[in-house]
Amino acid sequence: MRAIYVLPLLLLASCATCWRGGEPLRSTELASLRAVGADFRKAKNIEVYRGLAHPKRDAEVYAQQLRTEPHRFFADFAFHQKPEPVTTSRVKEIVDLYGSADSHQALSSPKTTCAGFHPDYALVWSDSRGQRVLQICYGCHEWKYIGPGGVLHTDINEPAYFEKITRWLPPKP
């Protein structure tokens, strides 16, 4: 009989992680995603960069990397200087995944158990209108697009996160 009372508590505890997604995108987010997705699909020169260590969660490692490793900044976050060797077909898969509304959920906040948004990867491309950056944060399960038209920040839904993106772009070793 006590299991009946414990089960809801266990379920609640298992959900008390950084990510609490589940809400579908609102109409304004869907419109923005369509515009960003169309722009993203036209890109010819996408490079994939791996982020440095988390500046809050791994502060000592991050500080050491800033001192010793060649790096560059995209949208206020530090990444390794050289792009990752990601195949053109894999980049296309990521572009297609990002462009699908099914891969997004409305941003859930606040995420109090996170150490804060910090992208594990950035996809970067430019054209005559400027640079675009798609940041992917594994700790928060979030996509964050920054470009000439503004910012679109959403959660990555569970199937896209667990079954695709973290397999295609592995977490840091």
Residue 20 phi/psi, 5° resolution?
-135, 40
Contact between 16 and 8 (Cβ < 8 Å): no
Query: Which is nearest to 98 in space by CA: 38, 44, 47?
Result: 38
Provide the domain count of the chain: 1
Contact between 77 and 118 (Cβ < 8 Å): yes
* Domain membership of residue 79 as a residue range: 2-168
Is there a domain that residue 131 lies in? yes
Is there a domain that residue 40 lies in? yes
Residue 139 DSSP code: T
> What predicted TM-score, i.e. pTM, was given to this entire model?
0.83
Is there a domain that residue 173 lies in? no
Q: How many CA atoms lie within 13 A of 89 on its CB side?
A: 0
Is there a domain that residue 137 lies in? yes
CA distance 31 to 55: 33
Is there a domain that residue 120 lies in? yes
Q: What is the pLDDT along the chain (173 residues), one digit of tens a residue?
A: 444 433 333 333 333 344 445 788 999 999 999 999 988 888 989 999 999 998 988 999 999 999 999 999 999 999 999 999 999 999 999 999 999 999 999 998 766 556 678 899 999 999 888 999 999 999 889 999 999 889 999 999 999 999 999 999 998 76
